[in-house]
Amino acid sequence: MTELDNAGEAAVRLPGMRVTYNGTGLDESELADTWHQQLQRWLDEAVAAEDAVVPEPNAMVLATADSEGLPSSRTVLCKGLDERGVVFYTNYTSAKSHDLTATRYASATFPWYGLHRQVHVRGEVEKVAPAETAAYWASRPRGSQLGAWASPQSRTVAARRDLDTALQSIERRFDGVEQVPVPPHWGGWRIRPEMVEFWQGRRDRMHDRLRFVRTEDGWRIRRVAP
């Protein structure tokens, strides 16, 4: 079979690929009092699921746009959740940080496909306080700390060996240093939600979508059509 035949066969299969969702749904009466309590509840259930069902439950797809409106998305790890918002950490010189600095806005999606659930968060962003960043940094494995120092995130590099050489240089720099300090170019971002949507798959694509929406009078819950 030729490469073209293989491509044609894949194209034939794609339209018929679908998953039937048989969940019991999500009713307004089942929601927690606040968006962050409901997100924590679903996150706990994702963590409790087997790894084969939800392999990395705190992973979220972060979407940003640059100053010209060009979008980008990538997966990051949620490392903080409370009434203020959801937090992730990164290099402040990265492409995503440039986008966030330019627009001060982002969205993120927790894709719990195995549970037929998604959570969408959208809102303004702010940098996490240095003390909070330092507390999280201290919990990271040493290898991850050294990697944060070594990697010029989002910049073009000539070859893999350049990254390996940079890491070796950082390893020598901090050899014998018990506590690796936080790099000045590294820290956290917090998305302060104005909308949080809880999506539960249902049969016949009649999914449940319940939103916590921030208004001048406080948070309101709205149901939207699938």
Which one from 205, 220, 222, 223 is the annotated catalytic residue? 205
Q: Apex CA 215: angle with CA 43 and CA 118, to 5°?
A: 25
Q: Is 190 a catalytic residue?
A: no
Q: Annotate the chain with DSSP letters as a single string.
A: --HHHHHHHHHHHGGG-----------GGGS-SSHHHHHHHHHHHHHHS-TTTSSSTTEEEEEEE-TT--EEEEEEE--EEETTEEEEEEETTSHHHHHHHHH-EEEEEEEEGGGTEEEEEEEEEEEPPHHHHHHHHHHS-HHHHHHHHH--TTS--S-HHHHHHHHHHHHHHTTT-SSPPPPTTEEEEEEEEEEEEEEE--GGG--EEEEEEEETTEEEEEE---
Q: Catalytic amino acids? A: 205
